[in-house]
Every structure is written in structure tokens, then in C-alpha cells.
Amino acid sequence: MSLSIVSRVIGVLHQDKRFDDWWEGPTVPIPLLDQHSLPVTFTNLSADETSAFLLDADAALSNFLNIGTDYKEIMAPHIWQNCKEFLEAIGYEEEDQALWDIKQAHEIWSFVDFRNIYVERRHRRDQDIYISLQGECEWEREHGLQLVFRQGRKLTRVSQIDGHLTEADAYDTADAQDELLSAF
């Protein structure tokens, strides 16, 4: 028997058969991505946290679903920077020429393909809800790309998909040292 919970924003989510703290929701159109639809999953959600989590997750999802395509202009320089840093770290490869040829930040969007949205509570420090938009990108084919939004409001991390919600968590540093997070 599958358990389910209900989000007032996205509808019914069913407990994952493999991970009892994952809840798989419906595919939802994302205004930020020109209404491209993606599945939403709540992660690290134990049964005893459901009520409080749902309230906070619904608020974050409402915020996230109110971000329009114009926000892509704000995010593009951060994503392009992530791409450039990766390319510089691995060195020139002919197959990456199109990425090396990017002249303006907004061009980076043609090299990403988002596949999933994960909603999770950070279990340290601020204990806020974060929304992680994850997918593939042409420069980091092995680990992909994640864009993380604190409270679903504002971009607070651009990175490979590594299981961390903030740079501060990834590198065990203070939140104040995390450039995007501290600007929240």
C-alpha cells in the first residue's frame, strides 16, 4: 500500500517505494522555464515532519512558481561562470568548442536541460526549505547542474548535483562566506 500526502500547491504526492522519506509528486509547468513541465519530489521528509514541512514547502513552491522567465537574465551570469570554471579546470577539448565560444551569459541556456525539482528542508543552520532544479548540462555531463532556491524565492546556489543545498554545507564553511546564500 502506497502512502500519500497532499500539497495545496501541486496536489498529491506518493511515497517512493525505495526511499520512505521521498515523496513523488506530479509533473508541474514551471513559469521560469517557459512552462516546461517537470516532476516534483519532496526529499528527506519523515512521516513525523509532514504537517510543518507541507506548510513551508507549499510557501516555497508558491514563491518558485511565481518566478518568471525574466529571472533567467539574473541567473545566467552565475551559470555561465559555473561553466567557465569547469572548462578551465578540465582544459580545452574540441567537443566543448561551442561552450568556449559563448560571448554573452544568456547563451548558456541552450546548453542546459532540466529534468527534476526536489524540495527539501536544510537540516542545519537556517533549516529553511530549498528548491533544487536539477538536470543535465553540456559542460558537466557526469554530475549535471543544479540551481538551488532558498524558500523558492531566490537563487542561492549553482553547482554540479552533489547532494548539498548550499556552498556553505558543501565546503563546511559559515553561511556568511557563501556568496549567493549570504545575499539572500
In Å, how far are 8, 105, 119 from 16, measured between CA atoms?
19, 38, 14
pTM of the model: 0.95
Number of domains in the chain: 1
Encode the chain (184 residues) as per-residue pLDDT tens digits. Answer: 469 999 999 999 999 999 999 999 999 999 999 999 999 999 999 878 889 999 999 999 999 999 999 999 999 999 999 999 999 999 999 999 999 999 999 999 999 999 999 999 999 899 999 999 999 999 999 999 999 999 999 999 999 999 999 999 999 999 999 999 999 9
* Separation of alpha carbons 175 and 67, rounded Å: 24
What SS3 string covers 23-40?
EEEEEEEEHHHCCEEEEE
Q: Domain residues for 142?
A: 1-184
